[in-house]
Each structure stands twice: as structure tokens, then as C-alpha cells.
Amino acid sequence: MSDLSAIFSTHGLLAQAIPDYRPRPQQQEMAQTIAQTIANQEILVAEAGTGTGKTFAYLIPALLSGGKVVLSTGTKTLQDQLFLRDIPTIRAALKVPAIIALLKGRANYICHYHLERTLASDQIHFTNRNDARYLRMIERYAQRSSHGDKGGLDQVPEHASIWQYVTSTRENCLGTECPHHKQCFVMEARKQALAADLIVVNHHLFFADVMLKDEGLSELLPACNTVIFDEAHQLPEVASLFFGESVSTGQILILVRDTLSEATQDAQDFTPLADAAAAVESTARELHLTVSGKQQRLSSNQAERTPGFVETLHRLQETMTQFVALLESQAVRSQGLENCWQRAQVLLVKIRQWREPAETQHFVRWLEAFSQSLQLNATPISVAEMFGKQIHTNARAWIFTSATLSVKQDFSHYNQMMGLVDAKTASWESPFDFQNQALLYAPNKLPDPNSPQYTENVVQAALPLIRASQGRAFFLCTSLRAMQQVHASLQAVFEQEQLAFPLLLQGQETRSAMLDRFRKLGNAVLIGSQSFWEGVDVRGRALSLVIIDRLPFASPDDPVLSARIEKFGSSAESVGDIRFR
């Protein structure tokens, strides 16, 4: 693999297989560097500007290496794009017989056990009138699908509330005790991954598996020769989540729901359990309301000064303690109730630890309020030592790549955060001529971003650009609420002005299906949130305009960022730069 020019040159294998392929020196140099890193089992931090073609630059040496490769991406959207489009294209061009597998978190696969329970239950009150119809679609899909990936059922929106009833979580999975264990879609996906030469995962799954030893990657990693992280700038934040601890009111409400479902089947005669479950549910909802309002992050000190928070959290611990005791008395009646008891114990311990932490020096306690849930977090201030241990456990190549990893060509900040002491670094500028081929427009008369009129003003400022580009736009929002508001506003204007630009809203169908439709339509406007911010490839003129409602920089008073600034003596810009550029 010393010379890759036969692949990347003007008349090379890629040019023969891909219409309109254009050689880029940066791409070939990056591929060469990655090939050497794999051969020497080194650590490489590689920054490649937009347009370099870094996906092909790391996939080609990975497929030619002959070893087992774990490829971790930033989003499930990019996972699907790699597995369904990019890897098949390269495999066909190179004519390599590599076996490829796609592995997602268990919540992406239909669970036979929970589907069966949901179909049999009369206790579920659907929040959406379409859920009963979606449930029948899911039932038929589960019967005919070989993989059970919910992404393969385009007719059911990805955010449909029915999915939570027919998929499992790490907490409520019965594992080998499940009566459907042999038919489990998650287990089948793991088997295929074990047999594959290249496994495509995402960062959340990678850390959940490797750190928690739960999902099966703990079996894959020792056997692999190379680990590649695409969109590696996300790793510090994702690693922090999995090296830390968290407990949410959402988890508690799901536990209550599962307990009532199991009790209806196997402990209907024991009414104290239902009463205790109702008390836990009521207190959890009340705790959420103490920090109601917009989505926000608060430090533990701020939360403890919030009226009613401390008292309600104390009552939640008390009701959970009673709930655990009652569940223990009924756990012998079914495997499902046994599972609920074990989960309740874990959640209770996490609540106690958050209220009375044994160690605070290396962790920051904080909470995050969402529209439907409140989450208590204990996040490590630094992941360098913990992740560094993972890096040096076995000899293999580790490759970290993204368009934004350095600060003015200096990688020391990123390497310090991730504990990459011995890493080589390399950087390639974008081959695009941004100065002559792109325009940046920042409206200067918008109201304050916290203003209720802000989103509508952004839409009005964007409309002339959408008309000029004849659709062909992404409208990216930093919140689901803004996304819905943008969609409603654009829909009204398009109807009023009879603009024939198809309007696509994230959540109406799977991300992959929506991207395919966007590419084929050629003049659509796609409104999306976080999963469309990075790693999305739309070639040609179908995407000519990108509108961003606001840049998602972390606030300097963000509790985790504040703690890191205090510990490392860094500026807010320096600490936040890697995460949000």
C-alpha cells in the first residue's frame, strides 16, 4: 500500500467507478498517512478541511489493510450514509471482498418481547392518534425484516412515540432470560459484527459498549487492528457522558411504565405496588416542574437554590426507596419484575450519589432540563486519563479525524483533552476556493436570540435567499421547537406565494429516506436539527444554500464548561472551540 496513486489519480480506480470524480492531492496524502498509521499501529490525529474527501481517504486504506476495523461516526445519519452509499461504492471500485456490518444501539432495533407485551396490553394510552396504526405496521415489519432496524420502516416517523414501547433499553432488556433471545435483532446484529472485517458504529454506542461492557463491542475491540473516529471533535463531550453518571426523570417514568405493565401480567393482585409506582411517577413529574421552562443547564448550586428542588428530590428518594422494597417482594413472580427491581435499585443509588457525592474534586454535578425530562449529571472535568488507558490497553492503530481539531494548526489542546500523549498530527487545507465560490451572509438587524420573535425574523431574513437559490436549501436549527416554528412559517409563505419548493421536516420519515428524497427532488428545503449539522453528503446543485438559525456555542456559564475553565485556566473560546466549531 505504499503507492495509492493508482486509486486516487485522474484515471485511477475511483475515477473509473465514480462519475465526476476529481483527484485532490490532499485526499491522497491523507490516505497515505493513514495507511502508514495502520501499518505501524500508531495514533494519528488528522484534520482535513471540508471538501478534502476524508471519508474515502480513511476507508480505502482501512479496506486494503486486511485487518479488522471498527469505524465510529458522529451520527446515525452518517452511519447509514457510510454503510449504504460510501462503503459499497469503494468496495466495488477496489474489488475487495470485505465483509461490512452496521451496528447501532439497541434502541434502534425492534424488541420482540416489548412488541409482544405492547400488542397484548390494554394499559397503554397512546399519546398520538396514529400510534395504533403505526403499531400494526411495526408488527408486520418485525415479521418480515431480517434485521429489525427501525430505520428500515420509512412509514413510521423516527420520533413517533410508539417506538419507546416496542424497543428496549440497556435497563429493560432481559438479556439471555428473554423468551425471544434466539430471535433477538440486537443479538443478530452483534453476530454479524463479530464476523465482519469493517464494523460501522457511532460514538455513543462505542463508548457505551467499551466503557460499560454491555452491548458487544467489548468483544469486538480486542480483535480489531484499527479504530477510526470520524467527526472526532465530538469525542470529548461524548466520552464525558459515558465516563460520568446520570439519572433522569424520564428513566424513572419508563421504569414506572414497565413495572405497571409487568404487574398487570404477573402481580395484579398486589395493589400496593401500583400505588407506590403512582407516587414515584407523581414525585418525578413534580421534580421536573421545579425547573420548568425552556431547556437549560444548571449547576448543582443553582439547582439547590431553586424553590422546591431540594425538598422534591428528597421526597423522590423516599418514594423510590419504598418502591424498591415493594418491587423486591414481587420480583420472584416474573423475570420482568425482577428486571424492574434491579433497575429501580440502580436509579435509587444514582439519586443518592448525586445528592450526597462521595467525591467532587474531579467531577462537576449539574442538571439539564428538557421539555419532557430532567436529568441529573455527574461529569468528569477531564477524560484524558480514563480514555488514555483505553488507548494503550492493546496495540492497534487509532485514527481521529475531523474538519476541526486544531486551534490555529495546534493540536495540543485536543490531544490534552483526550489523553493522546504519543499521537502524530497532520492537517490538510480544504481544496475548495471559498473566497471565490462561496458567500457568507450574516443579517445585522435580527433581535436578541432569546427574543420570542427571533426565529420568525430569521425566517424572514432567509426567505429572499431561498427564493434566489430556488429552494435547494438546508435550514438547520439548534432546537426542535425552532425547527417546528420554521417549518410552520415557511409552509405558510410557500402556500401564500405559491412557491413550488418541497418542504421536508426532520422526523416525518427516517433521516436516510429524507436525504434520498432531498437529493432526488433537486429543489427541496429540508428543515433539520442536530443530526443534519455534520457528516451529510449531498453532491451537485441539490444543496446550494445552508441556513443556520444560531451558532451553538456553549455559554460561558455552562456548568461543565465553567468547571473546566476553572481547572485548566483556559479561556471559554479555547475550551469550547473544539466542541462547537
Counting every residue written for the chain, the total comes to 581
542 lies in the same domain as 489: yes
535 lies in the same domain as 456: yes
DSSP single-letter state for residue 541: G
Does any domain span residue 407? yes
Q: Distance (Å, rounded) from C-alpha 271 to C-alpha 329? A: 13
Q: Distance (Å, rounded) from C-alpha 469 to C-alpha 466? A: 5
C-alpha cell at 433: 476556493
Q: Is 298 helix (H, G, I), strand (E, B) or coil?
A: strand
10 lies in the same domain as 96: yes
Does any domain span residue 303? no
Residue 578 has pLDDT above 70, yes or no: no
Q: Distance (Å, rounded) from C-alpha 567 to C-alpha 324? A: 38
39 lies in the same domain as 93: yes
Does any domain span residue 342? no
Region 384-411: mean pLDDT is 89
Residue 415: which of 371, 384, 377, 453 has the closest Cα? 384
33 lies in the same domain as 100: yes
8 Å CB contact between 299 and 364: yes
Does any domain span residue 29? yes
**Of the ranges 61-70, 326-335, 448-457, 510-519, which one carries the lowest mean pLDDT score?**
510-519
Domain count, the chain: 3
64 lies in the same domain as 205: yes
487 lies in the same domain as 467: yes
418 lies in the same domain as 455: no
- Return the CATH number at 484: 3.40.50.300
475 lies in the same domain as 510: yes
Residue 423 has pLDDT above 50, yes or no: yes
pLDDT of residue 572: 42
92 lies in the same domain as 201: yes
Region 201-225: mean pLDDT is 75
C-alpha cell at 440: 457568507
Does any domain span residue 318? no
Region 514-519: mean pLDDT is 89
Does any domain span residue 278? no
pLDDT of residue 558: 80
Region 259-266: mean pLDDT is 89
Write out pLDDT tens, residues 339-350.
Answer: 999 999 999 999
193 lies in the same domain as 156: no
Does any domain span residue 123? yes
87 lies in the same domain as 118: no
Q: Distance (Å, rounded) from C-alpha 114 to C-alpha 107? A: 12
Residue 82: which of 54, 61, 49 has the closest Cα? 54
478 is in which domain, residue-wise? 450-548
Q: Which residue has better confidence, 146 or 565? A: 146
Does any domain span residue 564? no
pTM here?
Answer: 0.85
